[in-house]
A and B are shown apart, each in its own frame.
Chain A
Amino acid sequence: MQFLLRLNFIFITALVFTACNNKSTKQEDLTKLSWEQILAEAKGTTIIMNMHQGDKKANAYMSDYVVPSLKAQYDITLKVIGGQGKEIINNIMAEKESNTTVGQTDLCWINGETFYQLRQIDGLYGPFVQQLPNAKYIDFTDPLIKYDFQEEVKGFETPWGKAFFLGVIDTARVKKMPVAMQDFEAYWQAHPGKFTIPQDFMGLTLLKSWLIELAGGIQELNGPFNEEKYKKYSTQLWDFVNRNKKNFWKNGETFPASAAPIAQMFSSGELDFTFAFGNSEIDKKVAEGLFPATSKAFILKAGCTNNTNYLGITYNSGNKAAAMVACNFMISPEAQVKKNNFKIWGGSMVLDYDKLDKKWQQEYDSLPKLKYGLSDAEIKARSIPETVPEYMIKIGDDFRKFVIDAK
């Protein structure tokens, strides 16, 4: 009896303790320091970076180039751990709830709806971008950089890479490139089981492209989130997917959790389509022997969705100075040009070519040329910006509700 009473008391105390917690966190203000002072504060420290680790080359770029360079040039130890949008948000939320003053991570690789949600919960430190010396190479008036999914960045994240959403096919297997949704439908009926949609950022961007196509173009979905429009076009979208999904991979009964296995299945011939977020993806994979040399990129009818990805500093990072120094390094011309080399990683530079010194312009020009992707001009001509994040979030939820869970 006494035993149970004691237990109850402990239980209740714990609950009460959990339920009322009202401490607030103080934010470090580095805006008053000079860059030299920030460098000094960063010296000899360690920072942790959250990064999507689905790409071998990206991981190698970080571990073989960025990490050693940071150590050698600034005496900063950078540790990279895996984690994408949802995990990052989850962790930051948990830290806010438990009033953690020194966070588990310092830097995170984010964009789009992750940025939006982090701002919703006040999870980012900033504004800090203008303090970075290398920011002078970036054109902040470029709408692609100034706005992240139509939300103004306001210096809370620094641009790191640009991406374009492209489809990829093997011209040896697929004779006519499907571009519009009807083309896809015809292809699926003729060749069932060769297409699927991953449940991650890549798949959602694809679905969003189709939503835009159904809406007749990006102008219709530009601007703030419109519930009516979304309902109207998404109903058509789910109709389209649901009536065709029996011709998808595995009869549309399951969808891969991420895009990583899709590239493998494309190369083994199990799938006829894959997608890529960069112009250099195909060259990269062909060079690795993963994709056949007959692969080709194409742009969907809605257009080539352009987005930029960024680096953010967590609100409770214990080492904001070092995080800023790391960001600065990663947007330096040296790091950006290297990153642009598809043999090392690939993906477009965020720096403005015209603002670079001659030396770096020459380096950039001498990078290996892409053979399989589309030309810059083609991409520019068909570029469309991202919609507001709410569309992505709703598509993510509804994809599960109306397609995956629909019986």
Chain B
Amino acid sequence: MHKKRTISLFLLVIYCVLPILVLFALSFSLNWVYPNILPQTFTLRHWKEFLFDGNGLQQSFFNSLTISLFVAFTSTLLGFICSKWIAYHKRRRLLLLVTYFPFALSPVIFAICLKFYFLKAGLAGNLPGIIIAQLIIAFPYATIFFTSFWNKSIKDYSNIASTLGSSPFNSYLKIIFPLAKSFLLTGFFQCFIISWFEYGLTNIIGYGKVQTLTIRVFQFIGEANIFYAALSSCLLILPPVILLWVNKKFVVHQTR
């Protein structure tokens, strides 16, 4: 029984780790002719080109980073404010339902329908446009996520604080933020990842002009250039892996 469990666990580990290993291996190879399992030649060329900015990959990486940080920060902040209003509203469930719609729709389809408006507003094909477009899906998510924070006990704490003479600003600073810290951090990471992973919406609103990392991966796949696709994939996975690790290790969840 014990043996079975260990084997199963071992398989699980392989299942989770194998993709990363394969992607890494491919990013270091030059060709991978059938039927060899390992690539014939190992090379550092692709990574060197990345570090010295061949192919504009560095630019794409920083584009993605900028966009995602912006979106994560803004949506966390706005979501936190808005979620409080929703949580204590008497029509809470209706408002929550309405907030769910934009988040539940496929981003690609949403982007196609909104392209006209972005063009008219001059927000197509540029960084601000993409940030706003991604906010349209990240902000509702943040709002929904934070709504579960504002439960009765938080309300009680703020009430007690204001009865005892604390200004709203102070109670935010000294009471709410410390309690919300882990929520805020987790929410920030989740919004970052939503924005970081986004392809369809970014491609349509950005016209392919603002090249994020996900767009580059698609481009390399289209070129049948699997080695560069693997490299960009590794770059794509890296920040989320770090974020998830930080989230798991340092952020303690209260109740979900």
- Listed in ascending order, the chain A residues whose CB lies under 8 Å from chain B are 18, 48, 53-56, 59, 63, 79, 81-83, 91, 94-95, 97-100, 104-105, 258, 260-261, 263-264, 268-269, 289
What 15 new A-B contacts, CB under 8 Å, besides A63-B55, A104-B125, A258-B222? A48-B209, A56-B223, A79-B209, A81-B208, A81-B209, A81-B211, A98-B116, A98-B117, A98-B120, A104-B124, A104-B207, A260-B222, A260-B223, A260-B224, A289-B31
* Most chain B CB atoms below 10 A, which of A55, A99, A104: A104
Mind listing 26 A-B residue pairs with CB under 8 Å? A53-B223, A54-B222, A55-B223, A59-B223, A79-B209, A81-B207, A82-B219, A83-B208, A91-B207, A94-B115, A94-B119, A95-B119, A97-B116, A100-B119, A100-B120, A100-B124, A104-B124, A104-B125, A104-B209, A105-B207, A260-B223, A261-B224, A263-B224, A264-B224, A268-B33, A268-B34
Indicate if the CB atoms of A82 and B207 lie closer than 8 Å.
no
Q: How far is the CB of A318 from chain B (nearest CB, A)?
A: 12
Contact partner of B116 (CB less than 8 A), chosen from A54, A81, A94, is A94
- Rounded to whole angstroms, the CA-CA distance of A261 and B220 in the bound complex is 12
The 8 lowest CB-CB distance pairs between A and B, nearest first, are A98-B119, A260-B224, A104-B125, A98-B120, A268-B34, A81-B208, A104-B207, A98-B116
Indicate if the CB atoms of A18 and B34 lie closer than 8 Å.
no
- Rounded to whole angstroms, the CA-CA distance of A313 and B117 in the bound complex is 24
Give the chain A neighbours of B115 by CB distance below 8 A: 94
Contact partner of B208 (CB less than 8 A), chosen from A82, A98, A258, A264, is A82
Give the chain B neighbours of A104 by CB distance below 8 A: 124-125, 207, 209
Give the chain B neighbours of A83 by CB distance below 8 A: 208
Q: How far is the CB of B220 from chain A (nearest CB, A)?
A: 10
- Rounded to whole angstroms, the CA-CA distance of A278 and B209 in the bound complex is 29
Interface: B225 (CB within 8 A): yes
- Rounded to whole angstroms, the CA-CA distance of A298 and B29 in the bound complex is 33
Give the chain B neighbours of A261 by CB distance below 8 A: 224
In the complex, which residue of chain A has the Cβ closest to the Cβ of B30?
Answer: A289
In the complex, which residue of chain A has the Cβ closest to the Cβ of B115?
Answer: A94
Q: How far is the CB of A260 from chain B (nearest CB, A)?
A: 4
Give the chain A neighbours of B33 by CB distance below 8 A: 268
* Most chain A CB atoms below 10 A, which of B223, B224, B225: B224
Q: How far is the CB of A214 from chain B (nearest CB, A)?
A: 32
Give the chain B neighbours of A269 by CB distance below 8 A: 34
- Rounded to whole angstroms, the CA-CA distance of A258 and B219 in the bound complex is 13
Q: How far is the CB of B135 from chain A (nearest CB, A)?
A: 19
Interface residues on B, range: 20 to 34
- Rounded to whole angstroms, the CA-CA distance of A100 and B125 in the bound complex is 12
- Rounded to whole angstroms, the CA-CA distance of A82 and B56 in the bound complex is 14
* Most chain B CB atoms below 10 A, which of A18, A81, A99: A81
In B38-78, the 8 Å CB interface with A consists of 55
- Rounded to whole angstroms, the CA-CA distance of A91 and B125 in the bound complex is 11
Give the chain B neighbours of A289 by CB distance below 8 A: 31
- Rounded to whole angstroms, the CA-CA distance of A269 and B35 in the bound complex is 10
Binary interface encoding of chain B residues 4-42 relative to chain A, with 1 for a CB under 8 A from any of its CBs, else 0: 000000000000000000000000000101100000000
Indicate if the CB atoms of B119 and A56 lie closer than 8 Å.
no
Indicate if the CB atoms of A56 and B116 lie closer than 8 Å.
no
Q: How far is the CB of B249 from chain A (nearest CB, A)?
A: 39
- Rounded to whole angstroms, the CA-CA distance of A302 and B209 in the bound complex is 40
Give the chain A neighbours of B225 by CB distance below 8 A: 56
Give the chain B neighbours of A63 by CB distance below 8 A: 55
Give the chain B neighbours of A95 by CB distance below 8 A: 119
In B199-256, the 8 Å CB interface with A consists of 207-209, 211, 219, 222-225
Give the chain B neighbours of A258 by CB distance below 8 A: 222
- Rounded to whole angstroms, the CA-CA distance of A260 and B31 in the bound complex is 16
Give the chain B neighbours of A260 by CB distance below 8 A: 222-224
- Rounded to whole angstroms, the CA-CA distance of A70 and B34 in the bound complex is 41
In the complex, which residue of chain B has the Cβ closest to the Cβ of A100?
Answer: B119
Q: How far is the CB of A258 from chain B (nearest CB, A)?
A: 7
Give the chain B neighbours of A264 by CB distance below 8 A: 224
- Rounded to whole angstroms, the CA-CA distance of A83 and B208 in the bound complex is 8
Give the chain A neighbours of B31 by CB distance below 8 A: 289
